[in-house]
Amino acid sequence: MAKVKDFLAEARILDWYKNLLILLAPFFGGKLLLPTYYPSLLLGFLALSTVSSACYVINDIKDAAQDAHHPRKKHRPIASGRMSNASALAFSIILLVFSFLISYQISASFLILCISLFLNSIIYTFFLRDVAWLDLVSISLNYIIRSLAGGEIVNVHISPWLLISVFYVSMLFVLSKRREELTALNKPEHHRKSFKQYDVALVDQAITVFSTLIIISYSLYTFHSPYADGLLPFTIPIITLIVLQFVSILKKTEEIGIIRRLLSSRIIVISLLIWLAIMSYLIYLT
C-alpha cells in the first residue's frame, strides 16, 4: 500500500520551483513589493503547483511500463509498484479539483489558465511527447502559461519580448534534459519514441540556436521596455555570459539536473545576483 511519502514523491514537490514564474509579471511590473497581492500570489502558486502535480501523476501512470526499465525513473512509486494505478488516479483527481477550486477563487481568467496548463500537459502526455520538436514546444508553452498567470493576478501586461525570452529559455532547459537522457540511456528510443529522431549532435545544434535566440530576444526586450533609458541595455553582456556559461557546463559535464548545473557555476550565480540587483534598482528605486 502506498505511503504518504509515495504520494509526495509522485507530486514531485521539488519541481514546484517551475511555478515561481508566477512572480515574473509582478517583478517586472513593479508590484512584487506590494503585500496586497501576496495572498493571491501564494494561492496562485499553490494552484499551479497542484495542477502540475496532477499532470505528473497522470504521466507516470501512462509511462509506468517504460519507467520500470529506466535507471532513474524505475524508483518512482507507480513504476516500482508501490502505488497502484487506481490510487494514483484518485490522487491526481483530488489535486486537480483542489487546484481548480483555488483558481476560481482568484479569478475566472486564472482558472482558464490553469485549465490550459492541464490540457496542454495532457495533450503532451498522450499525443505530442512522441513527436520530435513538438514535444519541446508543448512543454515550453507551459512556462508561458505560468508567466501569464502571474500577470493575471497583479493585472500587469507582460512584454511580448519577455515572454518570448521565457519560451526560448524553457526550450534550452528542455533540450538540456533531452541531452542528459540521450547520454545517460543505452537505448533511449526504447524509453521515448521521439528519441528516434534525436541525437546528441542534433540537440547540440538546437542548443546553439536557442542560446542565440535567448540573447537576441532579451536584447530586444531591453530596448522596448519601460526601463530602456536606464542601465537595462547594459545587462545584455551579463545575460550573454550566463547563457554561454550554462551551455559550456551542459556540454562538459554529465551532471543531472538543470538547477544543479546552474548553481554549480560561481560565475552564473554571481552574474544572476548582479543582474537581479540591477533590475531591482531600475524597477523599484528609479
Q: What is the pLDDT of residues 151-198, one digit of tens each?
A: 999 999 999 999 999 999 999 999 998 888 888 766 666 556 777 888
Residues 142 and 8 in one domain: yes
Residues 56 and 74 in one domain: yes
95: closest CA among 126, 63, 62, 49? 49
Domain range holding 180? 159-286
Residues 182 and 247 in one domain: yes
Q: What is the pLDDT of residues 91-140, one digit of tens each?
A: 999 999 999 999 999 999 999 999 999 999 999 999 998 898 999 999 99
* Residue in the block written with cell 529522431: 197
**What's the one-letter identity of residue 53?**
S
95 to 7, 11, 147, 163, 210: CA distances (angstroms) = 11, 9, 21, 28, 34
Q: Which of 122, 157, 192 is the last residue of a domain?
A: 157
Q: Which of 157, 185, 207 is the last residue of a domain?
A: 157
Residues 134 and 2 in one domain: yes
Grid coordinates of 251: 556540454
pLDDT at 42 over 70: yes
Residues 18 and 137 in one domain: yes
CATH number at residue 18: 1.10.357.140
pTM exceeds 0.75 for this model: yes
Counting residues of the chain whose pLDDT is more than 70, the rounded percentage is 93
Grid coordinates of 91: 490522487
Residues 141 and 205 in one domain: no
Half-sphere exposure of 147 (CA within 13 A, CB side): 22
Residues 100 and 168 in one domain: no
| Under 8 Å between Cβ of 211 and 172 | yes
Number of separate domains in the chain? 2
